[in-house]
Structure 1
């Protein structure tokens, strides 16, 4: 999962890296990679060349080390001079002396094109855009392996970090009961003001202190505050990615997404017969971290609930401060932070020096992120995405993976932004036949190739 020798032998040339996408994640990667002797950023590609320049300058690259390039010859000349080439055309990254591409566009269609270009040029691929990974990740892993390359999700984002926790539990022989993440915004309860704040919105919550300290199983339903989300589209997307990499499933299509304090996780995410909420084990899920303003945030962190070897061991570990269920049977392993591009160089090093992915060893299209209509949909409506990837007319679901058959659930990111072709009743799962798929989309084309490669066509 991680390179055993982060530093290469003396005399080894640094690996040459291209970054595609100079947004938030890409900018943090550009800043951190300067501190990694075994990696050298050679090229940045973004449709907005000025944004690339600004990201590099903020990261500490002198202006003299940045070269705007318009063709292969100028790119090669800049590389020869030790400069970072800046380009605004994806086609220009083909067939260069590069070892790996870090894709950080944040746009699934663009990410699909970047991935195809990178693997086709013989580069290792670090895919940041989880929306592409959930749709075509298994195919990219399959293509990379066939070409002797590595396709990897990246540390710094939750899927790879959670896959690492799951792998650690597996190495220790600890059965994974549930694996998941905290939503990106905590439920922050202020006992003085009697309010709950989430996603920047504060709601009055008189009497909520009774729910804060109570047995979670007795008050879980009451902890939800109307209008405050506990599981967003990106949360379910990331959990679907982990399921495809690790062979886990979903206990329910919309996930449970409870409001839970960190110390309560091993008591809540355990089988129902033991007092928890799960109908089965080996599942992914999310939660909203309930805390006071003076408590440590878990927003965006990842966790695994495991079964202990025996209850005596569990109780012993609980006495050392490890969160556990009261009977000692279930234990919490967690990582409350994700450092975006600051951690991503670990995954890139793992790929180029060790030939290893930060993802799973057997990536398959086990599940899809799908959509259920939360109101009646009429032909001609366009399903535009809003903040946090929400399509207001959709509720996200994790369903068993299937091909793009007309009657099969349409993958969420193939439906987003597209036109509805026929009436869809409230409560119905959108199918491929319900949506006008983009005939020119690389994402759609690669998804159909994935269906064929894995025998689901």
Structure 2
């Protein structure tokens, strides 16, 4: 039965719609809200945004009359009466009668605060901020287990859609050689919001967001997420990122001895060229008859073949995760391995006292690495660096280590990363969800 039919059935059985809360009313959140409310049996019960007027606008654009709530009691009464609230802060989040919270801020610190609050309230959490999952995904998965609720990265972005292809290939017993995505923009590691200002205006994009695409940070983060959910490895630091086309994917991402760029199978990578906005998996079969059948079905000459999905629909597809969580009680993507990390490479010569401005900024860009090598080098994750202060000079092109920076230690994402790094120690005591929640204001 389709999700649409099952949602209608749920509405008839429970007598009330699925109550969804949205945190972050920017481009992604507003797009998700518009698509979500096209389905029966769903209501957008609450929108949270630091700019209260954006929360109001998101509900209004979705055809919902927004109301304000002074406290948890009044907010709960509005929601239980079928209304929707627009809120500027997160204080009430885990005290409202919500079934699912969708986090769409793109800010790792906010994303983990939302997850902790919601899970502590027994509310399922779907996030579009894959940057947070790449940084503390293992710990978030553990907190979800403690709570009995579900935590998941959302459908629609490349990690989940590529994972679906990987699962499909493995279910057919193909060997997965490489999984990845097409990158829209040629790589410019030193790009910043100033150099991309005109292009951002043309594309009607936030310059920092465009910078995170062009300097490669987003591709590094997405492919690290893919590695950590599928168990695939990192092809090489920064990945190869060769040019390719859809018809030549199976040749580009073959092993070196067969004319491709890879020195081993079972890795993640990306390519430039007319493969974007699609995702792909390059597979191999040595079985003569399967090889024959694949060739007969016009999948290529083999033994390498490419499975390709020509699109990903970002926030438009994200509601699928909400349906999956509520109706099937499963996550679309959760960290099951720890094979990849995303560090920070200096975009310019950084000096003592400089402050890191985060993803898509002027100071650093994301760089994917093998997790063991990353830890061995003492590198610091990109996701904890916002607001960090340099305590040593770092030349352009060098990857930052913990010794190079003073982190904002009272931020939640930094505290959670410290905990995650100790989780595998024999004597480690992983702090409980309730302890983390108690440490947050409100």
Answer yes or no: same fold by TM over 0.5: yes
**Contact 1:380-1:419 within 8 A present in 2 as well:** yes
Query: CA offsets, 1:398-438, max 9 Å, x none?
Result: 22336998961000122244221112245532111111100
Q: Does 1:413 align with 2:383?
A: yes
Offset at 1:138?
1.4
Instruction: Name 1:67's counterpart in structure 2.
Output: 67
The CA deviation string for residues 47-66 of structure 1, in whole angstroms up to 9 with x for no partner, is 112112222222233xxx32
Query: For residue 283 of structure 2, what is the aligned residue in structure 1?
Result: 306
Asked whether 1:352 is paired with 2:326, we answer yes
Whether the aligned pair in 1 keeps the contact of 2:343 and 2:400 (CA below 8 Å) is yes
Instruction: Note the 1:385-424 alignment, pairs <5 A.
Output: 385=358, 389-401=359-371, 408-424=378-394
- Equivalent position SS for 1:119: helix
Q: 1:404 to 1:15 in 2, by over 3 A?
A: farther
Identify if the C-alpha distance between structure 1 residues 329 and 266 changes in structure 2 by more than 3 Å, giving closer, same or farther. Answer: same
The equivalent of 1:215 in structure 2 is none
| Whole-Å separation in 2 of the counterparts to 1:330 and 1:336 | 19
Are the counterparts in 1 of residues 180 and 279 from structure 2 also a CA contact under 8 Å? yes
Unaligned runs of 5+ residues in structure 1 are 188-198, 202-226, 291-297
CA, structure 1 residues 406+179, in 2 after alignment: closer, same or farther (shift >3 Å)? closer
In the other structure, the counterpart of 1:335 is: 309
Unaligned 5+ runs, structure 2: 188-197, 201-210, 429-442
Cα displacement string for residues 82-106 of structure 1 (whole angstroms, at most 9, x for unaligned residues): 1111111101112221111111111
1:118-157 alignment runs, 5 A limit:
118-157=118-157
CA contact (8 A) 2:184 2:273 kept: no
Question: In structure 2, how many angstroms separate the alpha carbons of the residues matched to 1:14 and 1:311?
Answer: 53
User: 8 Å contact 2:345–2:398 — kept in the other structure?
Assistant: yes
Shift of 1:129: 0.6
Query: Partners in 2 of 1:309 and 1:407 — Cα distance?
Result: 38
The answer to whether structure 1 residue 269 and structure 2 residue 253 are counterparts is yes
Q: Is the 8 A contact 1:407 1:432 kept in 2?
A: no
How far is 1:374 from its partner? Answer: 5.2
Give the conservation status (yes or no) of the 8 Å contact 1:231–1:288: no
Q: Secondary structure at the match of 1:423?
A: coil
CA distance in 2, matches of 1:289, 1:405: 33
Alignment CA distance shift 1:263-1:135 (3 Å):
same
Q: Is the 8 A contact 1:230 1:288 kept in 2?
A: no
**Matched residue, 1:295:** none
- Matches for 1:166-245 after TM superposition, within 5 Å: 166-185=166-185, 232-245=216-229
Q: Is 2:410 the counterpart of 1:440?
A: yes
**Residue in structure 2 matched with residue 15 of structure 1 by the alignment:** 18
- Alignment RMSD: 2.9
Distance 1:426 1:44, change over 3 A: closer
Residue 95 of structure 2 corresponds to 95
In 2, are the aligned partners of 1:231 and 1:287 still within 8 Å (CA)?
no
Rounded to whole Å, the distance in 1 between the matches of 2:150 and 2:288 is: 41
Alpha-carbon offset, residue 200 of structure 1: 5.0
Indicate how the Cα distance of structure 1 residues 146 and 175 shifts in structure 2: closer, same or farther if over 3 A, else same.
farther
Structure 2: distance between partners of 1:423 and 1:342: 43
Name 1:195's counterpart in structure 2: none
Counterpart in the other structure of 1:220 = none
Helix, strand or coil at the partner of 1:106: coil
Structure with greater helix share of residues: 2
Q: Secondary structure at the match of 1:94?
A: helix
How many Å separate the matches in 1 of 2:128 and 2:255? Answer: 33
